[in-house]
Amino acid sequence: MNPVNPYLDIAPEVAEALAAGKPVVALESTIISHGMPWPQNAQTALKVEQLIRGEGATPATIAVIGGRLKAGCSREEIEYLGRQGHAVAKASRRDLPVLVARGADGACTVTTTMMIAHMAGIRVFATGGIGGVHRGAETTMDISADLEELAQTPVMVICAGAKSILDLGLTLEYLETKGVPVLGYGTDELPAFYTRTSGFRVDYRVDTPEELAAAFRAQRAMGLKTGMLVTNPIPAQYSMDKAVIDAAIDAAVAEAKTLGIHGKETTPFLLAKIKDLTGGDSLDSNIQLVFNNARLAARTAAALCR
C-alpha cells in the first residue's frame, strides 16, 4: 500500500526517478481516450513519452485503471486507453471517488492529472491546452474545473494556452482572481492553442527553462498554494490561419448549442467537429503543439532538479 495514498500506484520507473531527484513530467490521458481517434491517440501518447525521455526526463502518463490512480502507465495501458476511447470515463475531480470505489477506468483531465501528479510528488505537467471559461458562461456558468485546480494545486502546467473554443479574456480574468500566474514562454501574448496569438497579454514573459524553474521554486518557497500556468505557443510552421480556425470554432459552437451539448461533453464534441471542418488540419496542429510542450516541460523539470 502506498503510504501517501492507498489508491495510488506510482510506476517503478517514475518512483525511481523521483527518489533519485531526477526530472519527471506528468502527462494527461484524456487526450488519449477523448482527444484523438485510434490509433493516432496511442501513437501520439507514446511519441510524447519518447520525446521526454530524449530530453533526459521520465514521463508519467496519468490515468485511473481498475480503480487505481496511476502515476505512470505502461505501453499496454496506454494502448488500452486508446482502444477503449470514449468508453473510458472522462474523469474530473468530482468523478474520482466513484470511479475508485467501483474499480472503474478514467481518463484524467488537466484537473485530475494535477491532483495525482501532486500526490506522487511530480512538479511539472505537459498538456495540450487547459480548459477555461466557456463562451456564454455568464448565463450557463460553464467554467472548467481546471481553473479551480490551478488555484489550489502546486503543479506547473505547460500548455499551448487555453483552448480557443473558450472565452479567453474571461479565462484570464478568472485566473487573475485566483492568483494564478500566467507566464508566456518567449511571448508577451496568450497563445490560443491552434494559433500563436489571441490579442490578450500574459502576466509575464519568460525566455528559458531556467527562468521557469526559478519562478516555480520561489512560489514554492513562499508557501503559495496555487499552481503556475506556462503558455507555450504552437511552433510557427504548425500554427493555423486565424480566420480559418475562428470560422470552424464559431460553426462548431453554434452546432453544439443547437444540439444541447453541454458540460463535460462540450470540449470533445467541439474538438472533433473542428477537426472535421478543417479537414484534419486541427488534429495535426494539436499533435505538434503537444510535442512542443512536452519538450519544454522536460527541460524545465530538468532545470528544477539542478
Contacts of 136 (CB under 8 A, 6+ apart): 142, 167
- Known catalytic membership, residue 28: yes
Cα diameter, the chain: 53
Q: Which one is catalytic: 49, 55, 70, 163?
A: 163
User: Strand runs (DSSP E) across the chain, as ranges?
Assistant: 8-10, 24-27, 58-65, 68-71, 89-91, 106-108, 124-126, 156-159, 182-185, 204-206, 228-231
Spatial distance between the Cα atoms of 175 and 195, rounded to a whole number of angstroms: 21
Helix and strand numbers, DSSP H then E, in the chain: 13, 11
Angle at 264 (CA atoms; ends 96, 159), nearest 5 degrees: 85
Q: Point out the residues that are catalytic.
A: 28, 163
